[in-house]
Amino acid sequence: MVDVAASLQTFHAAAKSLQSVAQAAKALIEQRDESKIHAKVTELNSAIVEAHSQLLTAQTAALAQLGRVKELEQRITRLETWERERQRYELTRLNPGVLVYSLRPGMANGEPRHDICARCYEDGIKSILQPEHSTAGIKLRCARCQAEVTHW
């Protein structure tokens, strides 16, 4: 899940730390007392380390979210492609009652007539059934899920 709110909180914390760095640096510049300068330098270093740590955390979160967004975009593209592709097929009953998805007339786009596996279709995958002729009829086999249907 993309947690944008958590990422924004991390960036806010990093910005706050950087504000502390700026305040510590300003206080350091205004100091004249050697011991106080040393204390302010220590405070400044701590603030810089804290800000750096928070920025690294924020960067890591942002990169993870970017990866997730890219993954989701690819998934959407796959689903849209499948949605267009599945419209080219219709559920067909072959003798003696086996069901396959057949290429709709007028939707061939230059492809030869063929059937695709009903099980794989339900999984959102196009898998063309390959025919094997036998004495019992024509056996259609799905290379992906190994489903077999015999019809005549």
Site residues for Zn ion per CB under 5 A: 117, 119-120, 127, 142, 144-145, 147
Min. distance of Cβ 78 from Zn ion in angstroms? Answer: 17
Distances (CA, A) of 44 to 23, 30, 32: 9, 14, 16
User: Which CB sits closer to Zn ion, 43 or 85?
Assistant: 85
User: Which CB sits closer to Zn ion, 47 or 142?
Assistant: 142
Three-state SS letters, 32-64: CCHHHHHHHHHHHHHHHHHHHHHHHHHHHHHHH
Q: What is the largest CA-CA distance in the chain?
A: 103
Min. distance of Cβ 142 from Zn ion in angstroms? Answer: 3
Min. distance of Cβ 130 from Zn ion in angstroms? Answer: 11
User: Which CB sits closer to Zn ion, 36 or 93?
Assistant: 93
User: Which CB sits closer to Zn ion, 144 or 151?
Assistant: 144
